[in-house]
Amino acid sequence: MAFPAVRCPLSIVDAFIMAHHKSTDPNIFILPDLGEGVHEAELIAWKVKPGEKVEEHQTIAEMNTDKALVEVPSPRAGVIKELNGNPGDILKVGQVAWTYEGASNEPRAPARGSGQAAKPASPQALPEEREDAGTVVGTMSGSLGAVSGTEGKALATPAVRRLARDLNVDIDSLRGTGLGGRVTEKDVRSASASSTPSRGTGLQPVSTPAASSQRLATTVSPRSPQQDVLDERPTAITPSAPRTTLVPTGDTQRIPVRGVRRNISLRLRQSVDRHVHFSVMDEADVTALDDVRKRIGAASGEKLSYLPFIVSAVCRALKQFPALNATVDDEAEEILRYSHVHMGIAADTEQGLTVPVIPNTDSMGVLEIGRHISELARMTRDRSIPRDRLMGSTFTISNVGSYAGRFATPIINYPEVGILAAGRVREGVVAKHGGIHVAKLLPLSLTCDHRSVDGADAARCLALIMELLGKPEGLLTPARG
């Protein structure tokens, strides 16, 4: 699950300025620690231009974190000198976001024509900036760590060599484009895409006609059947015509994975990597519930969907099966169980999937739950939802039936341990009291983390939810007295 791009209130943004990452130079604004494990932000737009005079707390930039669309203000009045980054760039916490004109704590450059050469800035001036020679591990020495290469052999890491073997590419015949002639992953994939003959097929790259003739003239010694069995290497080298690579026709659009879509990708990958997912599915008879919700709606003047009743039933079930009202702390190897239910409601928005939260849901009746769901839907649509309503859920419900489909295998909203997907209500034939009846059936799919929840408990919990939905009068009051 992921969070939407919502506009963060100014009071929260002001707190960012008091975060840990600060510059000793008042003319340098370093992107502060955004909190909640957020270490980077996508630059959406600059609200000022270089040379423009700004006031304290004036919005300088809009940045999209994985939780909110943040308006980053100026910590002081001044004149903007430089804006670092273009819309769409990912800025890291601790990176210089913009600078101001005026005096700084660094030595000024000598006046033009003074005859004194400008001295380079001291290495201690910006301790966070280090020369990395274009690598991701810092300053490169004379040798390349973990990069092997001998006379006649390509300079490449073990991972790249393994990739070359998997793709049947002769890595020693490639000309590396990396640092120091190193063969990179891109070099290997390019050679594979261009159908370069490989040693895995018994063919060597043909670089020149002379080299090709020399290889084709190689004499092959007679071999015995035993040798053929013991040695699988090819006994002859023959040229082949290059294979035709199929390329998709038509226009191709490259879409950067940024903002909410990027966060959805990271969060779902995290859930799949860590949780051990399993699902149980069944259908609940909601014929009586449909009648009750219509009667309550007519009496109260408020439109009620099935969802508030499902939420109320789940709150009651979680009281009897607390193993599902929990989160996992993988670093501490602990399971955290909660006495109160804070329900996450998965919602589809224009910005992507989001999970707004109803705190203390188990203390609310059906009508109050319905009002909260409607308010959350409105706030997610206009991107005005507060950040504290986007975190802290202990269980999640996904109402996939509002679109189509019966059953699903929903992915758990990490670090929770359970999620319930409600499908589309349909009319079906059921056997009841010795007879056959047409009933309204609600498909339910409960997915849990098998590390924290046993299969029997998940099945019993789903059975209880179905039973509670079949007795809707008991869902009108709060689950917690």
- Grouping H, G, I as helix, E, B as strand and the rest as coil, residue 193 is helix
Return the CA Rg of the chain.
31
Instruction: Pinpoint the alpha helices (H) of 33-184.
Output: 158-166
DSSP β-ladder status, 53-54 and 78-83:
antiparallel
- Which DSSP string do the residues of 67-88 spell out, in sequence order? S-EEEEEPSS-EEEEEE---TT
Q: How many CB atoms lie within 10 A of CB 275?
A: 25
Helix (H) or strand (E) holding 90: strand 90-92
Tell me where in the chain the CATH 2.40.50.100 domain(s) lie: 10-100
Structure tokens at 395: 């269980």
Continuous segment of H or E residues that includes residue 213: helix 209-216
Partners of 431 in the β-ladder: 436
pLDDT at 194: 77
CATH of domain 263-475: 3.30.559.10
Q: Which residue has the tokens 């599915």?
A: 281
State the pTM of this model.
Answer: 0.57
Q: What residues are labeled active site?
A: 450
**Tokens describing residue 215:** 């290889």
**Beta partners for 172?**
none
Whether a cis peptide bond, with omega within 30° of 0, leads into 239 is no
* Domain 10-100 coded CATH 3.40.50.150: no
- Tell me the CA distances in angstroms from 36 to 33, 61, 320, 387, one per residue in order: 9, 20, 31, 10
Listed in order, strand segments (DSSP E) in 305-462 are: 326-329, 334-337, 343-349, 352-354, 357-358, 395-398, 418-422, 426-432, 435-449
Joined together, the tokens standing for residue 244 give 């035709």
First to last CA, the chain: 31
Question: What residue has token string 């990490």?
Answer: 414
What does the pLDDT profile of the chain (481 residues) look like in tens digits?
A: 444 444 444 444 444 444 445 667 889 999 886 555 567 888 889 999 999 999 988 999 988 876 667 788 899 999 999 999 998 888 888 899 999 997 544 444 444 444 444 444 444 444 333 333 333 333 333 334 444 455 567 777 777 887 888 888 888 888 888 766 778 888 888 888 875 444 444 444 444 444 444 443 444 444 544 544 444 444 445 555 566 667 777 888 888 888 778 888 888 899 999 999 999 999 999 999 999 999 999 998 998 999 999 999 999 999 999 999 999 999 999 999 999 999 999 988 877 788 999 999 999 999 999 999 999 999 988 888 888 898 999 999 999 887 788 999 999 999 999 999 999 999 999 988 889 999 999 999 999 999 999 999 999 999 999 999 999 999 999 998 6
Could you tell me where in the chain the CATH 3.30.559.10 domains are found?
Answer: 263-475
